[in-house]
Amino acid sequence: MIKAHVTHQEILYTADLDAGIDITIVLDPLVSTPKCFYAPDLKIQPVVADDFIGDIASGGIINFKNIMINPHGNGTHTECV
| Phi, psi dihedral angles at 13 (to 5 degrees) | -110, 140
DSSP code of residue 37: T
Average pLDDT of the chain to the nearest whole number: 87
Please choose, from the candidates 30, 32, 33, 28, the residue with its C-alpha nearest in 3D space to the C-alpha of residue 78. 33
For the purposes of burial, counting CB atoms within 10 Å of the CB of 60, is it exposed (0-12), middle (13-18) or buried (19 or more)?
A: middle
| Phi, psi dihedral angles at 52 (to 5 degrees) | -90, 135
Predicted TM-score (pTM) of this structure: 0.59
What is the pLDDT, as a whole number, of residue 23?
A: 77
What is the pLDDT, as a whole number, of residue 66?
A: 96
Neighbour-count burial for 23-50, b at 16+ CB within 10 Å, e otherwise: eeeeeeeeeebbbeeebeebeeebeeee
pLDDT digits (tens, 9 = 90+) for 3-15: 899 999 999 999 9
What is the pLDDT, as a whole number, of residue 77?
A: 65
Higher local confidence (pLDDT), 68 or 30? 68
pLDDT digits (tens, 9 = 90+) for 23-46: 777 888 888 777 887 888 889 999
